[in-house]
Every structure is written in structure tokens, then in C-alpha cells.
Amino acid sequence: RVKDIVDEIDLEPVSHSALRSLLDTQRTVADVPTGIDLTKVSRITVVGDADEVRAALRAWIAQAVTWHDPTVLGVALAARDLENRDWSWLKWLPHADIPGEIDGVGPARYLSTSPDELISLLGPALADRPAFTGEPADALRHLLIIVDDPDFELNASALAAGRSGVTVVYRSATEPNREQYSDPEKPILRVADGAIERWQTGGWRHYIGDADQFGADDAAHLARQLSRWDSNPTHTGLRSAATRGASFTTLVGIPDASQLDVPTLWAPRHRDDELRVPIGVTTTGEPLFFDLKDEAEGGMGPHGLMIGMTGSGKSQTLMSILLALLTTHPADRLIVIYADFKGEA
């Protein structure tokens, strides 16, 4: 911060000119991101060229799902063609899951070609929500509902009434009439020539100079990266190790612990897989392997040291390693000697 100057009479002219130029130049910062707080709007109506609007909506959704866990944010879509590349990527997002529901191809999704059908799917999620107040609904999963159907009469539907923790984004083909009131809780935006304008009673006003755009291919790549975090609690076989609790049986490939296929579990293993077992998952959801082979064979080495305070989980970790090794290696390939020196050592 430059100290305010009360009297500039005694300032050295060249330095004063440089200082004034610096202040004038750095007073504003260009290209600062501008966002919309979804908790403060119940509906966003977007008009403009269909391709431009969809590119902008993809950018909004992509940012929302990247920075918010599926338990915090849900995404729903009604569009005439769900397999069109504009929207087909949404099926991979765990945020589109209908909690506890399974359909013919896996976890059911809040995706429909009919807005009315989508409202029916959303029924249980909308039923007990209080009226929209503009305040954050911390206890509720926020729902971002996209309606890409300009012919749908949104005002005559159940989505017309604002609900707490719900934001409806509606692509419209009709611009507001000149007398339309500008409601801060239901903004109307126009995407045109790479910029976004906002409706103020009587006309359009500049809002964002450079609107975010996101391509369908990029969106598909992002959605597939996020798909591993699917949190549907109904069908464990459809979820990644990270979200199904990383149980011992799922990590070592045992579908039913009561019916072990021991010959398969103890079948000869390639040397790269010998003495290498999963003991958990990483922060990215990938299996974490423990490899006792020599370092020259790509392992961690046959010796190790585990340090931790009482109750930190050392014994549980050792049990996990031991159980995984015994489950995947026959007795003629692995011998375990257990010695406990903790006592008075």
C-alpha cells in the first residue's frame, strides 16, 4: 500500500509522476474471475445462441462438480437428447446419482428427456425442502437442475416455486419483455459474442466481459476422471474402491467371503505380483500396494520399520498386511513367524 499524500507540493516531480502512473495503472486488476453464488439464486434463465449457452453451462457445471463433493452437490438435467455430445458426459458424474437407486445399466441418474419426468425423479429430494430464502442450506444437498428445453413452460411447473438448496438453470429462447422486473433471486442472463449480459428492468447491462466456455470433449474427459468417486450406496460392485469403503474383500477380489474360491486365490502368481498385496487406497482412490520383494525386483525390500503412538493403528495395519498375504499365497509359498517383543523390551 502506498501512503496517502496530503500535500504534493514538495514532491520531486519525476518520482511523483512515476508514482501517480503506478497507482493509476495498478488500481484495477484485469481478468478477475466473477462467480454466481448458487445459494442466493433459485433460478437462472439463460438466453442466446444454443451452442454458446450450452458451452457456458458446461463450464458452470464443470467448475461446480470439480470443487464440490457429490454429497454436497447434486446435478440433474432435462434435455431432448441425452446422448448428444453436449450432455452425454453427465452420465459419468457421481453428482447425477439418484441416492439408493439402480436402473438397468447401473446407478440411476437424474437425467431425463422430459422435464416432467425429471421433476418426478426429483420428487423425494424436493418434497421436504422449505421455501427459498436466499440463505445457505447447510444441512441439505444443493441441487443444480438444468433444463435445456426452451419449449417447456417452467412457470407452470413444480420447479417454479423456489426451494431451499435448489437452483434451476433454464435455457430459454424468449427474451424478456421491456417491462419485465429484474429479480435478483431469479437473474436473466444473455450469452452473446463470448460475453454475458444481465437483464435489468428496461434493457440489458454488461455483466461479464469474457464468459467461460467448456467444450464437450473436455467435459467428457473431466466427467470420466470424476466417475471413480461414485457414491451410490446401493450396489457395491458398481463403485470404486475409494467410495465402497475399501474393504478387504473388495480389494483382493472376493465377491462373497462365505464362498471362498481358494484354488483361484492361491493359484500361481506372476513374479511381479508375488508378495504384493493391497492394504488400502490412496487419496485418489487407487489401491495402495505393499510389496515385500527385494528392491531389485521392484519391491519395497524385505525389512521395514513401523512407528506410531499407542492406538494409532500399527497392529491393525500389520493384521491387514498379514491377512492379505495369507489370503493370496499358499502355505508352500509363504511361511509366517509371529514374535511379539513389545512387552518389557
User: Domain holding 146: CATH number?
Assistant: 3.40.50.300
**Residue 227 shares a structural domain with residue 283:** no
Q: Provide, for the chain, the percentages of residues in helix, strand and coil under a 3-state DSSP scheme, each rounded to the nearest 5.
A: 30, 20, 50
Report if residue 238 sits inside a domain.
Answer: no
For residue 254, how many C-alpha atoms fall within 13 Å in the half-sphere facing its CB? 19
Give residue-wise pLDDT tens across range 246-283: 577 878 878 777 888 899 889 988 888 899 998 887 76
Looking at 183, 201, 231, which one is the last position of a domain?
A: 231
- The domain tally of the chain equals 2
Both 143 and 256 in one domain: the answer is no
Q: Which domain holds residue 208?
A: 43-231
Q: Are residues 159 and 186 in the same domain?
A: yes
pLDDT of residue 40: 92
Same domain, 166 and 276: no
Mean pLDDT over the full length of the chain = 85
**pLDDT computed for residue 65 by the predictor:** 95
The answer to whether residue 118 is domain-embedded is: yes
Residue 141 sits in the same domain as residue 261 = no
pLDDT at 84 over 70: yes
Q: Is residue 339 part of a domain?
A: no
In a domain, 28, yes or no: no
Most confident option among 16-30, 133-147, 171-185, 205-219? 205-219
β-strand partners of 291 = 276
What is the band of 235 on the pLDDT scale with cuts at 50, 70, 90?
very low
Based on the fold, state whether residues 211 and 265 are members of the same structural domain.
no
Place of cell 467448475: 63
* Residue 238 pLDDT exceeds 50: no
Is residue 148 situated within a structural domain?
yes
pLDDT tens profile 165-189: 999 999 999 988 888 888 899 999 9
Residue 194 lies in a domain: yes
Query: Which of 2-6, 68-72, 236-240, 306-310 bottoms out in mean pLDDT, i.e. has the lowest?
Result: 236-240
Please check whether residues 197 and 295 belong to one and the same domain.
no
Examine the pLDDT at 342 and tell me if it is beyond 80. Answer: no
Please check the confidence at residue 304 and state whether its pLDDT lies above 50: yes
Residues 265, 151 share a domain:
no
Instruction: Report yes or no on 213 lying in a domain.
Output: yes
**201 and 267 belong to one structural domain:** no
What per-residue confidence (pLDDT) applies to 153? 92
* Residue 125 and residue 210 share a domain: yes
pLDDT at position 237 over 60: no
Give yes or no for a contact between 48 and 172, defined as CB atoms under 8 angstroms apart.
no
Residue 47, φ and ψ in degrees, nearest 5 = -120, 165
pLDDT at 205 over 60: yes
Same domain? For 74 and 110 the reply is: yes
Same domain, yes or no: 263 and 204? no
Q: Is residue 36 part of a domain?
A: no
With vertex at residue 97, the alpha carbon angle to CA 94 and CA 98, rounded to the nearest 5 degrees, is 165
